[in-house]
Amino acid sequence: QLRTLPGLEPLGARFREGARLGWSGDYRCRGGRRSWHTEAALGGGSSASGARKCVLQVPLLPEDRTLERVNLDLQDASDTAAYAARFNLHHQRQEEAGQVPVVKVAMPVACIVKESCFPAMIPAGSACTVIPYPGSEVQKFVFDGSEDFLELPQAFFHYAAFSSGGKSSVCDLMGAETDGGDVVLIDPVVLRTEKPNLESIVRAAAPAIGGLGDGQGPAGLTAERFDA
């Protein structure tokens, strides 16, 4: 059974507001997803006792319903989990005694739809993600600055940016806070700085050396000349 819950609405905010925030226009920040709350049987069984609460996400655009696209979701979750593991270890070392709250990441699983009762929304053959997530609501922790301040996800956001040397930022942190103070993140996005190539370097240098800013300097300096 698929349920559309109002509490999952924050999952779509990135796709509505990403352009305004100046985020990348690639698959992870555009196009949008449909998100449903559901239950999935563990271990391939169908017993209700083995069911686990999950969020099913399906890209809105048909061209995004591929394993190649969905693997980008998995990569962002995996990278975020790696940052979280290092952050948790660092956080624990800073505390003198006792357990400290940790950051966890709900890890998605890539799936292919074999049969569908809702072919208009979830066509057979579509790639999608199933994310184990016990809650029925999603809270924004780090997004556009309007969210309520919560120390742990804010600290994690800054730690990830610092530890990457500014090469990437774990953004759109959202999920749930447990009774024990842990933070469970769902569907984070990792914004990575593009590696400079020769053409971008030439374009950046052109105004300073008297060029017109079109990749060509006064002596006919072009990326193609270097490539040759």
Does 74 share its domain with 17? Answer: yes
Q: What is the pLDDT of residues 137-189, one digit of tens each?
A: 999 999 988 889 999 999 999 999 999 988 889 999 999 999 999 999 999 99
Q: Assess if residue 1 is contained within a domain.
A: no
Does 104 share its domain with 203? Answer: no
SS3 (DSSP) at 146:
coil
Would the pLDDT of 65 be above 50?
yes
Q: Quick one: average pLDDT of 207-211?
A: 51
Does 177 share its domain with 211? Answer: no
For residue 154, the enclosing domain spans: 6-192
Q: Residue 76, class by beta-carbon neighbours within 10 Å (0-12 exposed, 13-18 middle, 19+ buried)?
A: buried
Record the pTM. 0.80
The Cα 161–Cα 65 span in angstroms is 30
Does 178 share its domain with 209? Answer: no
Q: What is the pLDDT of residues 89-135, one digit of tens each?
A: 998 888 766 789 999 999 999 999 999 888 888 999 999 999 999 89
173-177 vs 127-132, strand pairing mode? unpaired
Does 102 share its domain with 19? Answer: yes
The Cα 101–Cα 88 span in angstroms is 8
The Cα 173–Cα 184 span in angstroms is 9
